[in-house]
């Protein structure tokens, strides 16, 4: 049966409308698919960025921790010799600028070897940790306590006015240390031998100030336990022999 011209025209319009609708549907599906792909890509980008930032933070934290450990004594957490040396250099520069003094104390625990030999190294380590805390408690925040190694400590006093100030601090630390230390079920008494060296009187550079504090400490130790000595030039005439505790 043949179609009239009008029927053919109507059919053509319907077919054209169907094609347009199909095209629109395809366009919508493509748009939806594209948007989904974009969302997924953005999500991956966000995740990657978060991971990258997390990895960076972790790396920076690890680096900071390594730097801290490199400057700290493993047992007491105090600054080590390297960090103390750097701070002493800064203290000397500051004292020179402000026309003041810097004092360095070299501390040694008297008869510490007896504690290690009789009670063991765990108790000895506990004593060192207790001593470190007590030294810190007796100083200003601007001062530095450092563990030199073994049973030796260094104390840096910044911007002191006179040798008398350093002597007062030494007496204060000796008195504070006299209080018993309770470690591992043991009540222990610890005494100190302290040598004191001042900038600029006893040295104009880090090495000299350190060496003279060390020398004064060994003179104090040989004079008897639980005392301090200020460095004097005549101490250089006969360097003390380093004797065991």
Task: Give me the active site residues, please.
Answer: 151
CB contact set of 38 (below 8 Å; sequence gap of 6+): none
Three-class SS of residue 3? coil
Nearest-CA neighbor of 197 among 109, 107, 114, 68?
107
> Judging by DSSP bridges, how do beta strands 144-149 and 227-230 pair with one another?
unpaired
Nearest-CA neighbor of 126 among 194, 192, 75?
75
Distances (CA, A) of 233 to 48, 104, 163, 202, 239: 66, 16, 15, 8, 11
- CB neighbours of residue 165 within 10 Å: 15
How far is 92 from 102, CA to CA, in rounded Å?
6
């Amino acid at each position: 049966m043949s179609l009239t011209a009008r029927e053919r025209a109507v059919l053509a319009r319907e077919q054209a409308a169907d094609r347009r609708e199909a095209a629109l549907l395809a366009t919508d599906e493509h748009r939806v698919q594209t948007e989904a792909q974009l969302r997924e890509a953005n999500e991956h980008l966000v995740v990657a960025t978060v991971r990258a930032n997390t990895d960076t933070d972790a790396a920076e934290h690890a680096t900071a921790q390594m730097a801290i450990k490199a400057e700290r004594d493993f047992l007491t957490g105090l600054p080590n010799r390297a960090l103390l040396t750097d701070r002493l250099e800064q203290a000397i520069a500051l004292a020179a600028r402000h026309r003041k003094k810097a004092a360095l104390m070299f501390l040694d625990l008297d008869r510490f070897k007896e504690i290690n030999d009789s009670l063991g190294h765990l108790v000895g380590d506990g004593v060192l940790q207790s001593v470190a805390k007590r030294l810190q408690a007796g100083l200003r925040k601007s001062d530095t306590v450092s563990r030199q190694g073994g049973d030796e400590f260094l104390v840096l006093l910044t911007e002191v006015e006179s040798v008398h100030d350093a002597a007062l601090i030494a007496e204060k630390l000796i008195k504070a240390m006299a209080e018993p230390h309770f470690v591992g079920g043991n009540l222990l008494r610890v005494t100190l031998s302290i040598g004191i060296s001042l900038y600029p009187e006893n040295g104009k550079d880090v090495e000299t100030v350190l060496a003279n504090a060390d020398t004064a400490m060994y003179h104090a130790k040989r004079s008897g336990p639980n005392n301090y000595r200020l460095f004097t030039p005549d101490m250089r005439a006969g360097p003390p022999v380093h004797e065991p505790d």
